[in-house]
Amino acid sequence: MSFVNYNFSKGIFGSDFVGLKWFNQLFASRNFIKLLRNNLLLSLYSVLFFFPMPILLALGLNEIKCKPFMRAAQTITYMPYFVSTVVVVSMLTLLLSPSSGIVNMILNALGIKSIYFMGDQRWFRTVYIISEIWQNSGWTAIIYLSAIVGIEMELYEAAQIDGASRLQRIWHITIPCILPTILIMLLLKIGQFMEVGYEKVLLMYNPQTMEVADIFDTYVYRQGIVNMNYSSSTAVGLFKALISFVLVVSANTLSKKVAQVSLW
Amino acid sequence: MKLRLINGDLLFTFVVYFLITMAMIICVFPFLNIIAVSFSGTAAVSRNAVTIFPVDVTLNSYQFVLKNKNIWRSYGNSIMYTSLHVAASLLVTSLAAYPLSKKRLVGRKGLLFYVTFTTIFHGGMIPTYMVVRSMGLLNTTGAIIIPYCFTVYNCMLLRNAFEGLPSELEESAKIDGLSDFGIMYRIYVPLSKPIYATLTLMLAITAWNSYMPALLYLNDTARYPLQMILRDIVINDVLASYREMAQDVAALPAAQSLKSATIVVVMLPIMAVYPFLQRFFVKGLLVGSVKG
């Protein structure tokens, strides 16, 4: 479909063949650089800022010896995961509203002027990443916690006898023991580097933040479904799918080499 | 020396508890604020006096939300889509997972490759849309259910569960004269109850929370699920359905409260079952990750 000038009544094979026209158009347009940049930056920030959070949370939860408190902490930290994207973005619009949102109320009380978080290009990525951290850290921490639980207690006892402090025990025992899990999660994340939560971006962006918020998937949605440019949007989608494919395959090859673990 | 060590550990414990408590507060705070605003009086909300406790408690916003016909209708739609999604997914996934778990299936390797390949490379949004459109499913319940009723991840989860059951079960059932369908339905499915419970919950949550299928394939507001109505009211700021209901605009609660109350109503079913079913979800996540 991305190689023809698609016309719904003529079908794929009845439409005129245009070769690589849509791809050339994509690469030549200013949009392409913008989409690629936005897509890559959101993923990069997600790896840099989101990725370590569940690990820290799991390490912290594991150090809590009071069982009821730990259970309560777990229940509460996974809760946001079960809330829908629409609810999260709805809550963001209310909480971050410049006139009546609680966040700006707190900022005002501290003597800072209201910030229009949802309508400001400089804030879009920050808000996106923070809401990701808020929603998914607790849930992802479960994977690390289950890896930590598998570590043998003898290691800790030996370290304790040798006089290692709790921080040293984390640094020299817990982290090395869950390193394979961390590596696998990192590789999975890199394999999905092109996959940004477009359902959330689609709800979050608006004309003011479009410049930094628009990513491949949201562009495909607008071009294809809203403006009905089926062929050119399929070409964009295909291009993205190709990059993703290469990334997944290389991440998997890498994980086979490094950790002897493969996705399939 | 010994004293310093103990002090260091105490300090460490204190810091850990402090940080985890902070994390808990950050997780709960937005919910509390939304709930507080939804129960607060108009004057208090416009004064920005509400933090995590409601001020001038009133049920006014909820009266508006519960009288809103769009909300009731979409609640019905969401319940219907969710139950159909769960039923269709369980059926299709089981029917695919069972044969794939059998070593004697002809062409099993090829089929498995075919199934998993779709997870790493797929046509994308527009071709899928074209398929749905050309099948005449646009604006029907089918469009919400059929394209989404099979996910590779769930299929592999179920396949692994089936593979874990001893093959002697199948042999003895064969001798007793059960057909392949009978074996699957009477032996394998009942023995995999825990995984079915987990799958059902995960499918239900996904279906309840999704808005993308409706955004793509429905254009009739009367068919919208709850999430789409919420999106219109809060994110797109369309309060028309509430304005129509108020005799005069002055009687309308603060927009902030109305929106908050709508959010609470949408979250309610999940928040209500969440504490009881939490352990199933965790099990589901861990079952999946063992494979990875």
pLDDT of residue A9: 65
Taking the CB of residue A180, how many other CB atoms lie within 10 A of it?
Answer: 15
pLDDT of residue A261: 59
Determine the structural domain holding residue A245 and report its residue range: 4-259
Average pLDDT, chain B: 85
Architecture of domain B60-292: Orthogonal Bundle (1.10)
Provide mean pLDDT across the span B49-65: 83
C-alpha distance from B251 to closest chain A C-alpha (Å): 20
Residue B288 pLDDT class (50, 70, 90 cuts)? low
Q: How far apart are CA A108 and CA B79, in angstroms?
A: 42
Per-residue pLDDT at B3 exceeds 80: no
Q: DSSP secondary-structure letter at B186?
A: I
Amino acid at A223: Q
DSSP codes joined into one string, B81-109: HHHHHHHHHHHHHHHHHHHHT-TTSTTHH
C-beta atoms of B48 and A100 within 8 A: yes
Pair of tokens at residue A105? 């109320």
pTM of the model: 0.87
Q: DSSP secondary-structure letter at B274?
A: H
> Can you name the residues that pair with A17 across neighbouring β-strands?
A4
| Local structure of A17: helix, strand or coil | strand
pLDDT of residue B120: 75
Burial of B251 (0-12, 13-18, 19+ CB in 10 A): exposed
Provide mean pLDDT across the span B257-282: 84
C-alpha distance from B169 to closest chain A C-alpha (Å): 28
Per-residue pLDDT at A212 exceeds 50: yes
Average pLDDT, chain A: 85
Scanning B164-193 for CB atoms below 8 A from A yields none
pLDDT of residue B290: 44
pLDDT more than 90, % of chain A:
18
Residues of chain A found within 8 Å of residue B125, distances taken between Cβ atoms: 217, 220-221, 224-225, 233, 237
The CATH number of the domain holding residue A164 is 1.10.3720.10
Inform me whether the C-beta atom of residue B17 falls under 8 Å from chain A C-beta atoms. Answer: yes
Residue A127 pLDDT class (50, 70, 90 cuts)? very high
Q: Pick from A83, A225, A233: which is nearest to B267 by CB?
A: A83
pLDDT of residue B286: 66
CA B227, B233, B238 angle in degrees (round to 5)? 140
Convert the pLDDT of each residue in A146-177 to its tens digit. Answer: 889 888 888 888 988 888 888 888 888 899 88
Selected residue with higher pLDDT from A263 and A137: A137
Domain ranges across chain B: 1-58, 60-292
Domain membership flag for residue A264: no
| CA-closest candidate to residue B138, choices A8, A193, A175, A79 | A8
pLDDT of residue A238: 85
Q: How far is CA B37 from CA A100, B46, B52, B150, in A?
A: 10, 10, 8, 40
Selected residue with higher pLDDT from B235 and B6: B235
Number of domains in chain A: 1
Burial of A205 (0-12, 13-18, 19+ CB in 10 A): buried
Q: How many residues in chain A?
A: 264
Strands (E), B145-258: none
The pair phi, psi for residue B127, each rounded to 5°, is -55, -40
Residue A262 pLDDT class (50, 70, 90 cuts)? low
Provide mean pLDDT across the span A233-252: 84
| Local structure of B67: helix, strand or coil | helix
pLDDT of residue B1: 44
Domain membership flag for residue A72: yes
Taking the CB of residue B274, how many other CB atoms lie within 10 A of it?
Answer: 18
Domain membership flag for residue A86: yes
Count helices and strands in chain B by DSSP H and E runs: 16, 0
Scanning B246-275 for CB atoms below 8 A from A yields 256, 259-260, 262-263, 266-267, 270-271, 274-275
Provide mean pLDDT across the span B113-122: 81
pLDDT more than 90, % of chain B:
24
Domain membership flag for residue A13: yes
pLDDT of residue A264: 47
Q: How far apart are CA A88 and CA A12, in angstroms?
A: 39
| CA-closest candidate to residue A131, choices A103, A167, A99, A162 | A103
Provide mean pLDDT across the span A2-22: 68
C-beta atoms of B23 and A73 within 8 A: yes
DSSP codes joined into one string, A112-137: -----GGG-HHHHHHHHHHHHHHHHH
Q: How far apart are CA A135 and CA A53, in angstroms?
A: 11
Convert the pLDDT of each residue in B205-238 to its tens digit. Answer: 889 999 999 999 998 888 999 999 899 888 888 7
C-beta atoms of A77 and B23 within 8 A: yes
pLDDT of residue A102: 87
Pair of tokens at residue B212? 């993308």
C-beta atoms of B235 and A85 within 8 A: no
Domain membership flag for residue A184: yes
pLDDT of residue B96: 92
Convert the pLDDT of each residue in B85-111 to its tens digit. Answer: 999 999 999 999 999 988 888 888 888
Burial of B102 (0-12, 13-18, 19+ CB in 10 A): middle
Inform me whether the C-beta atom of residue B6 falls under 8 Å from chain A C-beta atoms. Answer: no
C-alpha distance from B75 to closest chain A C-alpha (Å): 15
Convert the pLDDT of each residue in B152-194 to its tens digit. Answer: 888 988 998 898 888 888 888 889 888 888 999 988 999 888 8
Residue B26 pLDDT class (50, 70, 90 cuts)? very high
pLDDT of residue A12: 66
Helix H or strand E segment including B239: none
C-beta atoms of A134 and B30 within 8 A: yes
Q: How far apart are CA B124 and CA B227, in angstroms?
A: 23
Half-sphere exposure of A186 (CA within 13 A, CB side): 15
Provide mean pLDDT across the span B124-132: 86
Per-residue pLDDT at B4 exceeds 60: no
Q: How far apart are CA A143 and CA A188, in angstroms?
A: 13
Per-residue pLDDT at A138 exceeds 70: yes
C-beta atoms of A57 and B23 within 8 A: yes
Provide mean pLDDT across the span A219-243: 85
Q: How far apart are CA A190 and CA B245, in angstroms?
A: 50
Q: How far apart are CA B35 and CA B37, in angstroms?
A: 6
The answer to whether B237 and A206 are in contact (CB under 8 A) is: no
Provide mean pLDDT across the span A51-73: 90
C-beta atoms of B120 and A163 within 8 A: no
| Highest mean pLDDT of the ranges A20-29, A189-198, B141-150 | B141-150
pLDDT of residue B292: 33
pLDDT of residue A1: 66
